[in-house]
Every structure is written in structure tokens, then in C-alpha cells.
Structure 1
Amino acid sequence: MRLALALLCATAAAPPVLAQQTDADALYDALDLGTVIEVMREEGLDYGEDLGQDLLGGQGGTAWTNLVDGLYDTGRMGDIVRARFTQELSDVDTAPLVEFFKGDLGQRVIRLENEARQALTDEEIEDAAAARVTQMRADDDPRIDLIGTFIEANDLVESNVVGAMNSNYAFYTGLLDGDVVDGGMTEEQALSDVWAQEEAIREDTRDWVYSYLTLAYQPLSDEELNRYIDISRTDAGQAMNQALFDAFDEMYVDLSRRLGEGAARMMASEDI
């Protein structure tokens, strides 16, 4: 191509690409993913505490607490998620999604989702939410079917199962790199062990997702929830959903591997 024509094409092509990238960033902000990551940090700190008891026998002390606190850094977590999320959506017209999630219903949905996720960090609330789902099923409450439709439209169970298994395997690889697993476990054995957890993970995931969404969307009317389902089923909605899973999967795999590596170092140094 002639240089002038090439420059003209580059100039003409630049604005749409930049606009889409800006829309992806705007969508990230409209979804309030920063707040989601803050809740994930709280969940991670709780998980790290439990892991320290189970794997280190509670002997990790301040060193383990500091390691977990440093890993679950919202700045680094957010950088990973935003970069992958915007990259995945760089060729997607996200303007309709930005419009929806910046609108009254979209903002209400995001607020309800964040409040519910925060609430479920309380074990009593989680148990109560699970009990409510059980009762709704016993009563043949049609709302359960609508929640199920939302879950299916967004592939929330299977995608989360895959993400959990990826994270579990990443944790194993971190431990294996430290050569502290009893019996000299190989990567193949670790992978087999992760696959053995699949059904239990799926059951736990299904229960949690139903509890979470039933709690979150309780204030929404069926018409409002159907509007959310409709936009989730669009090509852009499906692309956004996949981008979210890919971005958070990358973040959790990174965290899990680093947790495994940190645990291995401590187990080796303390001879736990």
C-alpha cells in the first residue's frame, strides 16, 4: 500500500478500536469489579487462615498471615482482572452492556450482587440462604426455576467448577515445586486427585450459586430478572460473561500457585 493510504487507513481505524477499549474499561467500572475484588480479598484471607490450620497445623504464625495478606493485594488482583477482561472484550461492542449496567436496573443488580456476596461471608447468613433455597424447592416456588434459567444462561455452575479445579491444580503445582508433598506426589497424581474432587466441587458450587443468587435477586421482580437474563443471552453478554470467567480464573490460578509455593517454603523451613 502507498504510505499515504496506509496512514489514512490507520487514522480512520483508530477511533473505533480506542472507543471499544474505552467501553471495556467503562464496563469494568460499571460492573463495580473493584468492590467484587475487595470481597474476594476477605474471602481469601479467611481461606488462608483455614489453610494455615489444615496444612501448617497453625504453626505458620505471623509469617503465614503476612504472606496471605500480601498475596491477596487488591491492587495486583485488580490489575490482573482488568487487563484480561479488557483484552478479551477489545473486539466486542460493549456499548449496550455499558448502557444497561450504568442504568437504574443495572446499577441495582450490581449493588444487590455485591451486598449478597458480602453477606455470604457470614456463615449464619449462608446457612439461612441455603435453607431458603431448600424450602423454595419443597414449595415448588417458580422463582427457583427463573434463577435456574439465569444460571444456565450464564453457565455459572460448570464455569465455576472448571475455575475451582484449575485453582486447585495450581495450588498443587505450587506445593510440588517445593517438593514437600508426602510420598513424592507427581503432577499426574495431583491432576488425578483434582479430577476426583470434581463432583464434590460441582455440588458445592451449585448449592452456593443458588443460595447467592436467590439472596441477591430477592428484591427484583420477575420482569426485572428476565430483562437481566435477556441481556445475558446476547452475543455481547455472553462475551462479557466469558471474559469475566477468564479474568478471574487467571487471577485465582495465580493466587493459588503462589499460595502453594508459599506453603511449601514454610513447610520446608519449619519442617512441619
Structure 2
Amino acid sequence: MSMISRLSVPLRPRGLHFVLPLLVLLLVALPGLSRAADRARIEAFLNVTGFDVALDSIAFSAASAPQMLGMAPDAFGKDWERVTGEVFDTGVMRGIALEILEQTLDDGDLNHAVEFYASDLGQRLVEAENASHMIEDDSAKTAEGEAIIAGLVESGSERLELFKRMNRAIDSTGSSLRAIQEIQFRFLMAASAAGIVDLRMDTEELRGVLRQQESEMRIVLQRSALAGAAYTYRDFGEDDLLAYAEALETPQMARVYELLNAVQYEIMANRFEVLAGEMASLHPGQDI
């Protein structure tokens, strides 16, 4: 029972460069907006930073659902794609994110993040991240990233430490492991309630099983994140990587990423719970 979250997002269209100044003006120059305009500001924030398409990419995680239940990937038949498309509807997921962020995202932190990601370096980084994340099959990307890491280790390159700094900054509170465990827990409990699986343990026993996997999962997460960074930023120079690491390490950016990570994981958990209910109509239950 393991699932690694991924931010798989499509490449930003070239036309965005022409609308960025208008988005930044909306975000920074008009702080005293109504509730409706507040939502517009947050939508613009998501656009500039690329988090909107990152939210859309949560749908890729649906592929791991059968494996989490100990089932074959094709266990739920021809309706699987339709059901997952409905559950992981991008409009629904963006709506949830907007509702949360309207209540929680600090204006100062929003503006700080926008000013960085709207810069030339910020937009080049977002474009590279989007291009990397839109690769649905991670295997080739991971293999190339691991090969890059092996070369950096052999040569003693400083790039390796920069990648580690960036990854630490993005998950400064170490929340990813705990969040993935919670997603697994909520999904398995929902699947049990829906009759998909016969969960032969109580909640504390299930949490204990998940805790037993912590060490292995932590290593997998770290290796995956490092390989992903090596692949994604392979064409950036060390000066750019250092500038990005320093930007990510600011208190404002740390708070933004802590919040965005929490939003992403809550949406994933929520959608997996809904998916469990839908899966009950697609396949008979089994023991776990």
C-alpha cells in the first residue's frame, strides 16, 4: 500500500507571457477588493504560479487507487476512466482550492510569491516544471533523473546540494509523508465503508501498519523528489538554482508552500474518499 503524490501539470501556453502584466497588476495593485474580486485575485495567483494546472494534475494519482487496495490496475473495467474523470473533475478541484485559499492565503504572502514567479526566472522555472510534470509515465523521467544524480555524486557537483535545498524548502515542515499516510488511511476507510474491501483491522491497527512503512516510504519520497528535481532543472545553471533555493527559503514562500501542499493533499484525500464510493458500483469487494 504505497502511493507517491505527483504534481503532473500541462505546459503553460506561450500566450501567457502577454497576459502576465495584467495578472500581476490585478494581484498587487488592488488590495481592497470585494469577496468576488478576492476569488479573481486568487485565480490569477494560481495562474501565475502554475498551481492551477498542478491542481488539475491530481487526477493522475487516481491510477494508484486499485494498487492501494491490492487490486490489478484494470480491475474496475471499462468505466474506470469515466468515473475517475468525473470524480477528479478539474472544475470541482479548483473550486475546493479557491474556497480554502480565500479564507487562508495571506495577501502579503500571495504578493511575495507572485512577484517571484512573474519574474523572468520564475516563468522559466514554471515552464520547465510544467513540461516535466506533463509526462504522465514517470518511469523514463525518473530513470534519467537518477542517472543525473549518479553523475553529480560521482563528480561531487554542488548542484546536488542545491536540489536538496530546494526540496527541503518546498516541504519545510516535512508534511508530505504524514499527508500521504492520511490519504491512504482515509481512502482505505472509505473503501471499507463502501464495501469494496473487507478491512480486517480497526483504525488504530491500520495506522500502525502505515507507521511501519514510514522509513521505506520516506526514502522513496526523498529519492523520487531528488530525481524529479534533477530532471526538471537539468538545463538551469547553478546561479539560477541558487536563486531559486534562496527564494523558496524565504518565510513568505515557506508559508505559501505549506498552505498549497495542505490544499493539494486535502483535495487528494477528499477525491479519493469520493472515488471509493463510486468504485463500489464497478467491482465486487475483496478482503484486505
TM-score (norm 1): 0.81
Q: Helix, strand or coil: the match of 1:62? A: coil
Deviations 1:138-194 (A, max 9, x none): 332211011111122222693221221111111111122124534632222222222
CA contact under 8 A between 1:24 and 1:90: conserved in structure 2? Answer: no
Paired with 2:133 and 2:79, the residues of 1 have a C-alpha distance of 29
Paired with 2:145 and 2:159, the residues of 1 have a C-alpha distance of 14
Give the aligned partner of residue 232 of structure 1.
Answer: 248
Paired with 1:95 and 1:30, the residues of 2 have a C-alpha distance of 11
Would you say how many aligned residue pairs link Structure 1 and Structure 2? Answer: 257
1:74 and 2:76 equivalent?
A: no
Paired with 1:151 and 1:122, the residues of 2 have a C-alpha distance of 18
1:206 and 2:206 equivalent?
A: no
1:245: how far off? 0.8
Q: Helix, strand or coil: the match of 1:15? A: coil
Return the match for 2:52 from 8, 15, 34.
34
Paired with 2:150 and 2:123, the residues of 1 have a C-alpha distance of 29
Paired with 1:181 and 1:46, the residues of 2 have a C-alpha distance of 18
What is the one-letter code of the residue matched to 2:46? Answer: Y
Q: Helix, strand or coil: the match of 1:108? A: helix
CA contact under 8 A between 1:176 and 1:187: conserved in structure 2? Answer: no
Give the aligned partner of residue 159 of structure 1.
Answer: 175
Paired with 2:246 and 2:48, the residues of 1 have a C-alpha distance of 18
Seen in structure 2, the aligned counterparts of structure 1 residues 257 and 197 have a Cα distance that, compared at 3 Å, is farther
Give the aligned partner of residue 64 of structure 2.
Answer: 47
More helix by share: 1
CA contact under 8 A between 2:128 and 2:232: conserved in structure 1? Answer: yes
1:25-174 → structure 2 map (5 Å cutoff): 25-41=43-59, 43-48=60-65, 54-55=70-71, 58-90=74-106, 92-119=108-135, 121-155=137-171, 158-174=174-190
Give the aligned partner of residue 221 of structure 1.
Answer: 237
Q: Helix, strand or coil: the match of 1:94? A: helix
Q: Helix, strand or coil: the match of 2:137? A: coil
What is the one-letter code of the residue matched to 1:193? Answer: V
Give the aligned partner of residue 258 of structure 1.
Answer: 274
Paired with 2:242 and 2:166, the residues of 1 have a C-alpha distance of 8
Q: Helix, strand or coil: the match of 1:55? A: coil
Structure 2: 5+ residue stretches without partners:
1-30
TM-score (norm 2): 0.77
1:16: how far off? 7.2
What is the one-letter code of the residue matched to 1:162? Answer: R
Give the aligned partner of residue 7 of structure 1.
Answer: none
Q: Which moved more, 1:217-226 or 1:82-91?
A: 82-91
Paired with 1:212 and 1:59, the residues of 2 have a C-alpha distance of 29
Q: Percent identity?
A: 18
CA contact under 8 A between 1:45 and 1:68: conserved in structure 2? Answer: yes
What is the one-letter code of the residue matched to 2:232? Answer: A
Structure 1: 5+ residue stretches without partners:
1-13
Seen in structure 2, the aligned counterparts of structure 1 residues 78 and 218 have a Cα distance that, compared at 3 Å, is same
1:117: how far off? 1.7
Provide the aligned C-alpha RMSD in A.
3.0
Larger Rg: 1
CA contact under 8 A between 2:172 and 2:254: conserved in structure 1? Answer: no
Paired with 1:137 and 1:95, the residues of 2 have a C-alpha distance of 37
